[in-house]
Structure 1
Amino acid sequence: MSNKVIISCAVTGAIHTPTMSEYLPITPEQIIAQSVEAAEAGAAILHLHARDPRDGRPSADPAIFRQFVPEIMARTNAVVNITSGGSTNMTLEERLAFPLQLKPEMASLNMGSMNFSIHPAATKIKHWHHEWERPYVEGTEDIIFRNTFRDIKRILLELGEGCGTRFEFECYDIGHLYNLAHFVEQGLVKPPLFIQSIFGILGGMGPHPENLAMVRNTADRLFGRENYHWSILGAGRHQMPLLTVGAIMGANVRVGLEDSLFLGKGQLATSNAEQVHKIKRILAELSLEVATPDEARAMLGLKGPEQVML
């Protein structure tokens, strides 16, 4: 089972805006439909953010989360992974509001503060659907995504130890692996670790295949290969090429419209499920088997959906 590949799907995120793709799920109904389709296509983990259904802006409102999370859990067996990162302009209290209520099996956890920018995308768009979008995208040029050691420690204590939630450790740079190692040494993180290496975000590691080897070697040195499960996230057009290289190297994979709006060159993905189907075909061509949700739970040491507080 440890050789099976876990497919994660990040359904909507807080990066892209409605103008960028008509297929980006915004409303609770759209998020439910696309999550269910992605799970049916083979995604074992669904990584979820919330959006204000009126205009698509990122939201941390627990009331909005509750309009789609229970329904997704009722209709799929997928692991529900709730963001603790939210968006770059949310406070930590806002980001934790719903996860601390839900006590999910899994949550994302960004492993360091960083410049996180998508501002170049604004130059490609002339007409925006909503007035919030352009200043939001352009504003990332002057935003620091805050995840201090104290912030991370609080999440590990309150959401991890306090709620039994395990984490998708999002590492955008080599230094984030060392930050994670610090918390392992402090006894606040215990294996098996689920390390999500992220490539292609402006402010983080570049999307070069050589960087995958550097991350793999560093993680092996810091944690020992037997103590972690590695996953690859390639942003934008780098999604499928980097995931393919990562899978060959023994990594799990993450797709979804949070990470890339496209299925191929110049071709918008019409759903999250399309990306899941594509990476599943690639994995099959590599003679790799895909993990079921329950197999993913066993691999990652998750507590099970029956202990989530719906």
Structure 2
Amino acid sequence: MSLAMNREVFITCAVTGAGDTAGRSDKVPVTPAEIAAASIEAAKAGAAVAHIHVRDPETGKGARDVALYREAVRLIRESGTDVILNLTAGMGGDLTLGSVEQPLPPAKDGTDMAGATERLAHVAELRPEICTLDCGTMNFGEGDYVMTNTPAMLKEMARQIRDLGVRPEIEVFDTGHLVLAKWLHAQGLLDGPVLVQLCMGIPWGAPDDIGTLMAMVNNLPKDWVFSAFSIGRNQLPYAALAALAGGNVRVGLEDNLWLAKGVLASNGDLVVAAKQTLEGMGAKVLSPAETRAKLKLEKRG
């Protein structure tokens, strides 16, 4: 296998996510103002893209209230900071079964199932340059929670995202998700260059070993653009591995809370560490403007 290192890399910073992490680190942003500040911090540190979830300011749990997105996006845009906005559209596909003996009805706590239009309401209003599309269904954790994205749901969400003029970032958590992405593309639902995020090391999806990563990379169409990340302690090593595999990089507190053993990170810390790694390898870290050109995006806001 020949080395196909990417020498012009853009960094995405996933600044907060929706997981139960706000109680584990006071650096995880919760309010729209904190999320906006974290996105600006990441951009100033070298991230071209800010991947944004929102959280309930009272509980810290993941949310999909359009007003929360509206406020975070407003603050980022009014700051004058140049950063590509990538809003999640993954919320609204959460299914937690009742129990192993009585799976139905679903548990109210942890279940949030919404239709395609409702899941994209914030995208339709705010028109970010990118939004995510979780390309498949997968078990998470050790309980009864299932990330639920049927082919019919994905097809409709992809159609709406295309019609809004927003670029979907296809979130691939396992090999079959890549098959679904190719199916959507074959139906004319994904504008090019198709943008893929390989999400590695998440139970019970694709493990983050090199062999599995390269199997997925080798099955990507040559004209697709991809990033890759892993969670926890392997996040920063993946900054090097993703570039060596020909891709781009994602870091951030959505996926990892630590800069080093016993040292909690900020989003800016993680971007700086990734940038130093990439530049030490001889790669150029792309600016937001250069990333827009690479992805054929039109600047918004």
Task: Pick the TM interval, shorter chain.
Answer: 0.7 to 0.9
Asked if structure 1 preserves the Cα contact closer than 8 Å seen for 2:167 and 2:191, the reply is no
Which of 70, 82, 92 pairs up with 2:114? 92
Q: What secondary structure, in the 3-state scheme, does the structure 2 residue paired with 1:189 have?
A: coil
How much has 1:103 moved relative to structure 2?
A: 2.1
Give the 5 Å matches for 1:1-310. Answer: 3-75=7-79, 76-86=81-91, 88=94, 89-93=111-115, 94-117=118-141, 119=142, 141-160=143-162, 162-219=163-220, 223=221, 225=222, 227-269=223-265, 271-306=266-301
Structure 1 residue aligned with 2:107: none
Q: What secondary structure, in the 3-state scheme, does the structure 2 residue paired with 1:99 have?
A: helix
The CA distance in 1 between the partners of 2:264 and 2:119, in whole Å, is 29
User: Taking every aligned residue pair, what percent have the same amino acid on both sides?
Assistant: 38
The CA distance in 2 between the partners of 1:86 and 1:296, in whole Å, is 26
How much has 1:256 moved relative to structure 2?
A: 0.6
The one-character-per-residue Cα deviations of 1:195-248 (angstroms, maximum 9, x if unpaired) are 1101111111112122121111111xxx2x1x1111111111111112211212
The CA distance in 1 between the partners of 2:65 and 2:261, in whole Å, is 35
Structure 2 residue aligned with 1:136: none
- Length-normalised TM-score, structure 1: 0.85
The CA distance in 1 between the partners of 2:155 and 2:122, in whole Å, is 18
Moved more, 4-13 or 68-77: 68-77
The one-character-per-residue Cα deviations of 1:246-268 (angstroms, maximum 9, x if unpaired) are 21222100001001111123322
Asked if structure 2 preserves the Cα contact closer than 8 Å seen for 1:248 and 1:286, the reply is no
- Counterpart amino acid of residue 111 in structure 1: C
Q: Which runs of 5+ in 2 are unaligned?
A: 1-5, 95-110
- Counterpart amino acid of residue 291 in structure 1: L
The CA distance in 2 between the partners of 1:109 and 1:49, in whole Å, is 13
How much has 1:3 moved relative to structure 2?
A: 4.2
Root-mean-square deviation (Å): 1.5
How much has 1:102 moved relative to structure 2?
A: 1.4
**Number of matched pairs:** 276
Q: What secondary structure, in the 3-state scheme, does the structure 1 residue paired with 2:228 have?
A: strand
Asked if structure 2 preserves the Cα contact closer than 8 Å seen for 1:9 and 1:256, the reply is yes
Asked if structure 1 preserves the Cα contact closer than 8 Å seen for 2:7 and 2:243, the reply is no
The CA distance in 2 between the partners of 1:30 and 1:204, in whole Å, is 30
Asked if structure 1 preserves the Cα contact closer than 8 Å seen for 2:227 and 2:249, the reply is yes
The one-character-per-residue Cα deviations of 1:46-98 (angstroms, maximum 9, x if unpaired) are 00011111121111111111121111122211100110002634323443221
Asked if structure 2 preserves the Cα contact closer than 8 Å seen for 1:105 and 1:165, the reply is yes
Asked if structure 1 preserves the Cα contact closer than 8 Å seen for 2:86 and 2:130, the reply is yes
Q: Which has a greater percent of helix?
A: 1
The CA distance in 1 between the partners of 2:169 and 2:58, in whole Å, is 29
Asked if structure 2 preserves the Cα contact closer than 8 Å seen for 1:12 and 1:48, the reply is yes
Q: Which runs of 5+ in 1 are unaligned?
A: 120-140
- Counterpart amino acid of residue 127 in structure 2: K
Q: What secondary structure, in the 3-state scheme, does the structure 2 residue paired with 1:20 have?
A: coil
- Length-normalised TM-score, structure 2: 0.88
Q: What secondary structure, in the 3-state scheme, does the structure 2 residue paired with 1:207 have?
A: coil
The one-character-per-residue Cα deviations of 1:150-194 (angstroms, maximum 9, x if unpaired) are 11111111122x210001111001111111111111121232111
- Counterpart amino acid of residue 109 in structure 1: L
The CA distance in 2 between the partners of 1:247 and 1:114, in whole Å, is 26
